[in-house]
Amino acid sequence: MAVDPSAYGEAIADLYDDWYGDVSDVAGTVETVARLAGGGPVLELGIGTGRIALPLAAAGVEVHGVDASPAMVGQLRAKPGGAGIPVLLGDFSQELPGVPGGFAVVFAAFNTFVNLTSAAAMADCLALVSRQLRPGGALVLENALPGEDPVTSGVDVRRVSPEEVVLSAFRRDGPVVNGSLITLGTGGIRLCPWAVRLTPPEELAALAAAAGFDEESRHGGWRNEPLNAGTTRYVVVFRLRRTTVAQQ
């Protein structure tokens, strides 16, 4: 069953920064996106609480965002500088904001893009991105690298304290993993549902090529780390072919 794209953010917005502030390389992301933007505007898919967007804006980059969760965007708005970042509330597989001349970079940080749980939704998003990027612009995506783990379901203990217990439960059905963070505490039970589609880089490259992109680079992180046996994620940079004209 499909997960409401806003459900996870609505459930976890007030906890997100404490739990996931260091889930990925913020400094490396900012450095790479700013370099690729070359002074142009950028769009973050799933801008959330501004974990990446705010330091990117502080580095002098013009940042725009799209996110399905009003609660996550509310957390962004409450932070210094957050009110000045334009954000479209919506599903980024269905609509994206635009700027005159097109964005220089569109990017999604760790696993945000693979929250789209079907190849069709991914293709729809890539088609939208191709219309909002300037010709030659960059699309940068950071995703989990699918492994060969045979485990298809499980429950992990994330944290235990006298006040609460946090569990993570998941079940895999083909490429799609559905799960939930479950908080048991004195205030009751909270469920934070999530879903990701484990997408190999080769499959992503084929979807991107169909939308008018050519792959420029593929690494194991934002600092050009190599892809090897120990790699758990990949960062891929695509370039929009210059024969594709961004719509304004």
Domain contains 247: no
Q: By the 8 A CB rule, do 2 and 24 touch?
A: no
Q: Quote the pLDDT of residue 185.
A: 92
Query: Final residue of a domain: which of 178, 195, 212?
Result: 195
183 with 66, same domain: the answer is no
**What is the residue-averaged pLDDT of the chain?**
94
201 with 100, same domain: the answer is yes
Domain contains 102: yes
Q: Which two tokens stand for residue 80?
A: 């210094």
Domain contains 36: yes
102 with 38, same domain: the answer is yes
Domain contains 176: yes
62 with 171, same domain: the answer is no
Can you give the pTM of this predicted structure? 0.94
188 with 223, same domain: the answer is no
Residues in the chain: 248
Give per-residue pLDDT as tens, 31-78.
999 999 999 999 999 999 999 999 999 999 999 999 999 999 999 999
Q: List the helix and strand counts (H, then E) for the chain.
A: 6, 11
What does residue 88 show for φ and ψ, rounded to 5 degrees? Answer: -95, 125
Which of residues 107 and 151 earns the better pLDDT score?
Answer: 107
124 with 187, same domain: the answer is no
Instruction: Please provide the distance, in angstroms rounded to a whole number, between the alpha carbons at the two ends of the chain.
Output: 35
Percent pLDDT > 90 in the chain is 87
Give per-residue pLDDT as tens, 171-224.
999 999 999 999 999 889 999 999 999 999 999 999 999 999 999 999 999 999
85 with 170, same domain: the answer is no
Domain contains 246: no
Q: Quote the pLDDT of residue 148.
A: 78
Number of domains making up the chain: 2
CA angle 137, 207, 244 (to 5 degrees): 35
Domain contains 117: yes
> What domain range includes position 35?
7-147+196-240
62 with 162, same domain: the answer is no
pLDDT of 244 higher than 80: no
Give per-residue pLDDT as tens, 108-117.
999 999 999 9
